[in-house]
Amino acid sequence: MSTVYNPKMTRRESLKRMGSMTSVVMIGGIAVACEAPEPKATAVNASSHWPDLDFAAISENGYGTDPSMISPTAPWPRTLSAAQLDQVAVLSDIICPRDERGPSATEVGVPDVIDEWVSAPYSSQHRDRVQILNGLQWLDEEAGRRFGSPFVAASDAQQIEIIEDIAYRDRRDIPEFEHAVQFFARLRRLVFGGYFTSPEGVADIGYIGNVPIAGDYPGPTDEAMAHLNQVIADLDM
């Protein structure tokens, strides 16, 4: 049983959020698509300790071209183990912690959405599944090499020490971290995709939906733009 994160979303909710993540979201004038591929990594270097495991594709059927919207069903199971879900929860809150503007990633169910995403039987999701599961295993093994414990059991400071080594794109130039950097970049994109498709995330960016506005559209507030630009700057992308 999970010791860090307990799933809090219905399948209907997580599937809806997953569907929203396939759209292109504009953040501060930059197009961010959860389906956009990361640059390909080179062959695995022995010094990286990257697991490079292959995982069978999910064999369940997808929704097809005409899913039932009246009585939706979940055609596939969510597949992350309790331990993997705990890892995703810890990482999600490192990437998107609670602050004065809003709740943390786990508080809005981001791990449920990522579980849904990597469990879906589609080619792009399977590609992410392989990368994410290898990355989670790498984190556990790296924490074991450094601190003698799994990643989730490491202290906050120890977790951040590892993340600092893989959180920035220029670390891709270090063979030891190349694949882990790409894993973390992909996970970060998925975390923000899951967060900004939640009601709280939508409110945070000031999106009010398809609501008629009298006169010319005024655009986002200066405060909203400043916040979004700061988020982008913090990503160091």
pTM of the complete model beyond 0.85:
no
Coil, helix or strand at residue 32: strand
45 lies in a domain? no
The whole-angstrom separation of Cα 170 and Cα 182 is: 11
Look at the chain and report how many structural domains it folds into.
1
Coil, helix or strand at residue 30: strand
66 lies in a domain? no
122 lies in a domain? yes
123 lies in a domain? yes
138 lies in a domain? yes
The whole-angstrom separation of Cα 132 and Cα 134 is: 5
Domain that holds residue 192: 1-23+77-207+220-237
Q: What is the full per-residue pLDDT of the chain (237 aa) written as tens digits?
A: 457 898 888 888 888 888 888 764 444 444 455 555 555 666 677 777 888 787 877 777 665 555 565 666 677 888 999 999 999 999 999 999 998 888 999 999 999 999 999 998 888 889 999 999 999 999 999 999 999 999 999 999 999 999 999 998 888 788 889 999 999 999 999 999 999 888 888 887 777 666 676 778 777 788 888 888 887 777 654
The whole-angstrom separation of Cα 105 and Cα 91 is: 9
CB atoms within 10 A of CB 195: 26
Secondary-structure percent of the chain, ordered helix, strand, coil, rounded to 5: 50, 5, 45
